[in-house]
């Protein structure tokens, strides 16, 4: 967790330095965007190998939500709001990958 907080603070610090050091607004925006993309890459590449290993369980629950009655929330131990979203999207025919991308966004 410390590495993530450190990267966030580093990003904020470097953004402030860029704002102070670069007067041209266009160059400033490009530099901050590049810095943000680099930080995002570092966050994703430094994640633990255990991150994302529970996706098969989420996929199975998503497929199960398609067949369960709409008002039945007792078949898995997920939050009720997440179950409602999975039911709305799965019964609407949205693929799991699209649902996951929307939830992450």
The alpha-helical segments, DSSP class H, found in 1-105 are: 2-21, 25-45, 55-67, 80-91, 96-104
CA distance 99 to 86: 8
Would you state the structure tokens that stand for residue 12, as one six-digit string? 């904020």
Note the pLDDT of residue 88.
93
Which residues in the chain come in under a pLDDT of 50? none
- Left if phi > 0, otherwise alpha if psi is -120 to 50, otherwise beta: which for 94? beta
Best CA proximity match to 6, nearest among 39, 33, 51? 39
């Amino acid at each position: 967790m410390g590495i993530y907080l450190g990267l966030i603070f580093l990003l904020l610090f470097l953004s402030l330095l860029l704002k102070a050091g670069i007067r041209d607004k266009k160059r400033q925006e490009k530099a901050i965007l590049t810095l943000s993309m680099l930080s995002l890459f570092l966050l994703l590449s430094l994640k633990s190998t255990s991150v994302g290993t529970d996706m098969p369980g989420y996929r199975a629950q998503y497929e199960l939500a398609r067949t369960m009655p709409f008002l039945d929330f007792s078949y898995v131990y997920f939050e009720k709001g997440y179950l409602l979203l999975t039911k709305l999207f799965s019964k609407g025919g949205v693929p799991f990958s699209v649902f996951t991308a929307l939830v992450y966004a």
